[in-house]
Structure 1
Amino acid sequence: MSLFIDVHALHTLPPSNINRDDTGAPKTATFGGVPRQRVSSQAWKRAIRRDFGEHLPADQLGVRTKRVVGQVVDVVKQIAPDWERDRAVTAVEAAFSAAGIKVEKKTVKKGEDQVQRDPEAGYLLFLSARQIQRLAEAVVTNEGAKLSKREAAALLDSEHSVDIAMFGRMVAEAPDYNVDAAVQVAHAIGVHASEPEFDYFTAVDDAAEAAEESGAGMIGTIQMMSSTLYRYATVDLQALIENLGDIRAATEATVAFVRSFVESMPTGKQNTFANRTLPEVVLVSVREDRPVSYVNAFETPVVTDGERGRRYDAAARLAREATEIDAAYDTRPVASWVVAVGDLAQSLSEVGEKVTLSRLLDGLRATLPVNDERERA
């Protein structure tokens, strides 16, 4: 029987533009018949992956890049410094070819010259640090001789990193290397109606000002939004165990994910807006039945009278949705914890134990299983 770890958050952003569309405007979506601010799951997953680097060892993480040949070649050169780079490139290119992954020579323009770069894949390829290391070691051990397809496949389809195990990997031309994601992240969406606003700005020419000349050096506009967002993600622990091959690693990865989900922030326009807030409410539940999002608590947009603010009404709605769903479906989480700022926790007292973030992570670690049937056998 699997466990599902649901993570819910209410997260208020000041005027900001952390996730833009193709016109430079903050992303939006219509929900409940009204426009809302939206932050794509892709944007927040990227932020979470970057935050992993603060809490997990580098050898447990991966890199997603077209420049996979260069990544492996760099490790080959560390292992065998006497190898010429051209030799390493040729051997690594042959290893990817054996695995069924096409790479092509890349030429870039630098000034007036055409510069040859290491071959690249035609798409972003997600590889773990261990996969890169093991492929490089195999290339050196084989003295550059081409690996067999089975050897190459074994190196690239085992020892997945935490981020690959969580967010999955798709290789269209070689689907045997696909990894099903163990984590699902919803698009963050505003709990109330909102539309982008325009900031008209000017920049002053310092030298012109010193010469007592009037006028701006430049003018422009930038779009922004301010919203209280509902954020949701869920971890399928059994799927994560299968992807990582180790239950203890899956438990620690889940704890790291919850921490990074809470603390991360997409970086769009941060220098302009300094929108570095943390969620005011975090609710984490461990469930045995199935994942459950509470987004429908906000299908009717939150409207506030201004006395207490939207986030108080949003917290009350979140708690009501959680209790009503469990009452209607005769379900109850194995455990739930609430991290909340100030008296916001009062609204959520019936849906989880009020804790600090560090106590939440400790409680989650203690609640998740430490072994499985394979280990007991």
Structure 2
Amino acid sequence: MTQPSLFVEVHILQSLPPSNINRDDSGTPKQALYGGARRARVSSQAWKRATRVEFAKAEAVADRATRTKRIAALLAERLARPASDGGAGLDAAQADRLAAALLEPLGITKSSKKEEQSAYLLFFGKRQLDSLVALLDGRAGELLALPEKKLKEEVAKLPVVSALSTGHPAEVALFGRMVADLPALNVDAAVQVAHALSTHAVRTEFDYYTAVDDENTEDSGAGMIGTVEFNSSTLYRYAVLGVHQLRDNLTSPQATREAAVRFVDAFTRSMPTGHQNSFAHRTLPHLVLVTVRTDQPVNLVSAFEEPVAGHSGLAAESAVRLAGELASVGQTWGTVPTRTVATYALEADKLTDTFGSSLAFPALLDQVDALVGAWLADGGLGQAETAQAGAR
């Protein structure tokens, strides 16, 4: 029997003060037209990276993933370590030669512009480099004694592709990997992240600033003059985690459970860092809504197709709109979440009617943990419902 899918969706309403967290090539805060109105936008790539950085904070450095063109240099550094430290004890030239031979089966070629870099970014776990070193099984010296052609032939016999296709860290399992030249290295992402959009129309504003030359005592003129663009917004953020895909990527139920909960936590707390020193825009959400589905994900951004007017603030009206959209989708399409839990600090009866009572955020994470754990244990939601009911 095929195990059903489990989607954990995270819907967030979050207000940002004057800020420019994600700008285009001209320095303007990114925008989009939606519902005929210009909205503030934060790209999915920007918020995925912020989430990945937040997620990695709880990982030991050796267990983290990295996305880089410098895999050859990192592998050579591993090979140069003493054998007692997991390396092969090679000198720099030997390490570079053997690293190049090990990576050749992956189709990783040098960049035409920078010899020390590969032609494309590769996302991998740092421990997977240790797996590549382990393939040598103490034969580094023997292999290096071979002529170049024979060295390549011997290395080609090693399961290099397999070493980078298994043992993925949680970050790779969550966000996936695509290598066009070698599909065997591809990892289907367990997470999808939407572009964040403001629930209302926005206008770009300009901050005119000056910098004073502290050592200039001759006149009162500025040492530098400039402008930076910014806007303020209440954003709707959405991400969905396919727990079934995450389980397939990680293979360990316990690792899957931990990664799922930590993803919800990291996505909620993360913040892109564009112009962070200038605006100090770190805020926490007004509302975090987690919906759990077994049929298909549903982005509720249609709640804001008609822009929120915001005559007396934007957050409360945006939250009521979101509650209305969730109820409307269920009534119209029959697509009703299996579970709905929320954390919010907004006063509105409709929120309680639709989302249930507000939970402290740690309690919301406990609910997600219980649900995902029960689903992984029995492949269905019956026991998960019981587990969550007992947790209340």
TM-score of the two chains, using structure 1 as the length reference: 0.90
Aligned to 1:114: none
| Percent of aligned positions that are identical | 42
User: What are the residue-to-residue correspondences of 1:290-301 with 2, within 5 Å?
Assistant: 290-301=296-307
CA distance in 2, matches of 1:324, 1:272: 41
Task: Say which is worse superposed, 241-250 or 51-60, in terms of deviation.
Answer: 51-60
Letter in 1 for 2:47: W
Distance in 1 between residues matched to 2:57 and 2:270, nearest whole Å:
11
Partner of 2:49: 46
1:297-343 CA-to-partner distances (Å, cap 9, x unmatched) read 0000000222xx11110000000000111122223322211111243
Matches for 1:196-207 after TM superposition, within 5 Å: 196-207=204-215
Residues of 2 paired with 1:5 and 1:346: CA distance? 23
CA spacing shift, 1:292–1:348, aligned 2, 3 Å: farther
With 155-164 and 56-65 compared, the bigger mean Cα shift is at 56-65
Question: In 2, Cα distance between the equivalents of 1:22 and 1:242?
Answer: 38
Residue 121 of structure 1 aligns with an amino acid whose one-letter code is: S
User: 2:179 maps to which residue?
Assistant: 171
Question: In 2, distance between residues paired with 1:104 and 1:140?
Answer: 30
The aligned counterpart of 2:149 is none
* Matched residue, 1:132: 129
Aligned: 1:121 with 2:118 = yes
Q: What SS is found at the alignment partner of 2:140?
A: coil
Matched, 1:89 2:96: yes
Matched, 1:103 2:110: yes
Q: State the match for 2:40 in structure 1.
A: 37
* 2:364 maps to amino acid: L
CA shift, 1:218, in A, is 1.2
Counterparts of residues 224-235 of structure 1 (less than 5 Å): 224-235=230-241
Q: Which residue of 1 aligns with 2:257?
A: 251
Matched, 1:367 2:366: no
Q: Show CA shifts across 1:183-238 (max 9, x none).
A: 10000000000121111111112222x44x12111111100010000000001111
CA contact (8 A) 1:17 1:223 kept: yes
In the alignment of these two chains, the number of paired residues is 359
The 2-side partners of 1:92 and 1:342 are apart by 56
The answer as to whether partners of 1:96 and 1:103 remain within 8 angstroms in 2 is no
User: Partners in 1 of 2:109 and 2:12 — Cα distance?
Assistant: 41
Partner AA of 1:124 in structure 2? L
**Which 4+ runs in 1 deviate beyond 4 A?**
104-107
Q: Which amino acid aligns with 1:310?
A: L
Instruction: Measure the CA separation in 1 of the matches of 2:61 and 2:89.
Output: 26
CA distance 1:153–1:263, change in 2 (3 Å): same
In structure 2, do the counterparts of structure 1 residues 243 and 313 end up closer, same or farther at CA, with 3 Å as the change threshold? same
Q: Indicate if the aligned counterparts of 1:189 and 1:230 stay in contact, CA closer than 8 A.
A: yes
Change (3 A) 1:301 1:106: closer
Q: Structure 2: how far apart are the matches of 1:282 and 1:94?
A: 49
Shift of 1:76: 2.2
> What is the one-letter code of the residue matched to 2:139?
N
SS state at 1:354 partner: coil
CA pair 333-250 structure 1, distance change in 2 beyond 3 A: same
Counterpart contact for 1:168–1:182, Cα < 8 Å: yes
Measured after TM superposition, the shift of residue 176 of structure 1 is: 1.7
Spell out the pairing of 1:310-321 with structure 2 (5 A cutoff).
Answer: 310-321=314-325
Quote the offset at 1:92 in angstroms.
1.1
Residue in structure 2 matching 1:288, options 286, 294, 297: 294
**1:158 alignment counterpart:** 166
2:247 and 2:256 in contact (8 A); partners too: yes
Partner of 2:18: 15
Structure 2 length-normalised TM: 0.87
SS at match of 2:299: coil
Q: Distance in 1 between matches of 2:229 and 2:59?
A: 35
Is the alpha carbon distance of 1:215 and 1:266 closer, same or farther for their aligned partners in structure 2, counting shifts above 3 Å? same
1:277 aligns with 2:283: yes
Structure 1 stretches lacking a partner, 5+ long: 108-116
Deviations 1:51-98 (A, max 9, x none): 112223445431100000111222223323631021111111101102
**Matched ranges for 1:331-370 at <5 A:** 331-343=335-347, 347-368=351-372, 369-370=375-376
**Is 1:336–1:353's contact at 8 Å kept on the other side of the alignment?**
no
Quote the RMSD (CA, aligned, Å): 1.9
Deviates more, 1:84-93 or 1:130-139: 130-139
2-structure distance, mates of 1:60, 1:371: 26
* Alignment check: 8 A CA contact 1:29 1:37 kept: yes
Asked if the contact 2:316–2:346 (Cα under 8 Å) also holds between the matched residues in 1, the reply is: no
The one-letter code matched in structure 2 to 1:176 is A
Shift in Å, 1:121: 1.1
Does the residue aligned with 2:235 lie in a helix, a strand or coil?
strand
Q: Which runs of 5+ in 2 are unaligned?
A: 144-153, 380-392
User: What SS class does the counterpart of residue 231 from structure 1 fall into?
Assistant: strand
Question: How far apart in 2 are the matches of 1:41 and 1:312?
Answer: 25
Determine if contact 1:202/1:220 at 8 Å carries over to the other structure. yes
CA separation of 1:348 and 1:197: change in aligned 2, threshold 3 A: farther
